[in-house]
Amino acid sequence: MRISRAHAAIELKKLKEAGTVTERIAHIRAGPVKRKVYFLTEMGEAKARNLKDFASRQGIEISPLLDLKKCKAEDLWAQLNPDSRSLMAKAAVFRRPFKRSALPQTTVSLLPEDKDGMAELPESLRASIPVILDKNALREAHSFAADYWLGEGDYVERLHHLLLANRSLEAQMLLSTRGWQMARSTGPELLESLKGMGSVLPRYAKEVRRIQGQAALRNSDVKFGHQVAQEMMLTGDAEEAVDGLELKGRVLLLEGRSQAALDDLIEVKRSKPSPLLDCDIAQCYGLLGRKEEALQLIESIGRRGGIDDPDLLEEVYFRKGQVLASIGRSQEAIANFSKSLGLARPGDKREIYRSMSSCYEKLGMEDKAREYSRKALRR
């Protein structure tokens, strides 16, 4: 059972020499040409029956062993040798498909892989195998996965595994260098990791809080956003206190408390003006019915000087699109969302697609609305 493809020919040769298997050339159903096919001989069938009877007397269920989806973790674990257990432990902690070649080959094919060489354990085993591992084995598995995702350039997955491998310093260093980009382009997986972070070294704490706030906004997590904003305002750092007030204003905007949000954001603008802040203030004006003020502010963004940072420009276009959509100017909103999409780095673009779909729907362009709605369902 589960003999790897590389070893199948060797095992079949042994079975033919033993007289339990025979081969002949025959048509495979729906196949255009004849191929080699293998059958049990009478001796092979007798041996198979005896083996099945023995397994039944011993209380061993064979069918789950033929299909990983039917396996119980405890039953599978009992059948594995130490090397295979190490392989399965590492495979079980991956949340996403990974390259089968990253793990050692075994004589028994334990991990199913697709035509592209990608492997993924069934969800039931991914949930149950880590539970039966001891702490050291589990940390080792997560550490392996963290290093794998570094090579693949997936920093959200790397962060997840670094934290579970207790490599917290590396996790904090990763956030200090890549965190802002990660928070602006990814979804709830990153937020889950950020909410689970323990104590952070003082040199990284300010940046980590900034990233936590951005991730809370991206995922509309109002409670966590308020929590982070409060922490930022109480640090005693004047600059971070202003950032905390801005975060509070943006969270209030998420809640629909437009006037309270506007008051906080205007206060922030006195000491820290920015194009993104103007977008948020314009959003407040729009929600308060002050559409002319919203439009004037949106149209003024960029006039006072160009925006050189492409990441900032992407965000500005997206926020301008949101404001224009909220005041009923869907065509102009789509133009801004399209510019944002053109500047976006690889990552999660679902929010842009959802916004575009909504605008097309308001314009009565149902085919386009469905097209972008489908895109929004994909990562």
pLDDT per position as a tens digit, 96-109: 999 999 988 776 56
Instruction: State the DSSP string of 167-203.
Output: -HHHHHHHHHHHHHHHHHH--HHHHHHHHT-----HH
Q: Give the tens place of pLDDT for each residue, 286-344.
A: 999 999 999 999 888 866 556 777 878 888 899 899 999 989 999 999 999 999 988 88
Q: What is the pLDDT of residue 245?
A: 97
pLDDT value at 79 more than 90: no
Q: Give the tens place of pLDDT for each residue, 145-168.
A: 999 999 999 999 999 999 999 999
Cα–Cα dist 187/176, whole Å: 18
**In the CATH hierarchy, which fold is given to the domain comprising 302-379?**
1.25.40
Nearest-Å Rg of the Cα atoms of the chain is 28
Cα–Cα dist 186/237, whole Å: 28
**In the CATH hierarchy, which fold is given to the domain comprising 1-60?**
Arc Repressor Mutant, subunit A (1.10.10)
Q: What is the pTM of this model?
A: 0.73
Mean pLDDT of the residues in the chain: 87
Q: What is the pLDDT of residue 64?
A: 47
- Please name the amino acid found at residue 115: K
Inter-CA distances, 138 with 79, 164, 245, 258, Å: 19, 8, 40, 47
In percent, the amount of the chain with pLDDT more than 90 equals 53
Q: Tell me the pLDDT band of 3, cut-offs 50, 70 and 90.
A: low
State the distance between the two ends of the chain, measured CA to CA, in whole angstroms.
36
In percent, the amount of the chain with pLDDT more than 70 equals 89
Helix, strand, or coil here: 119? Answer: strand
Q: What is the pLDDT of residue 65?
A: 55
Q: Where are the domains of the chain?
A: 1-60, 302-379
Q: Give the tens place of pLDDT for each residue, 244-279.
A: 999 999 999 999 999 999 999 999 999 999 899 999
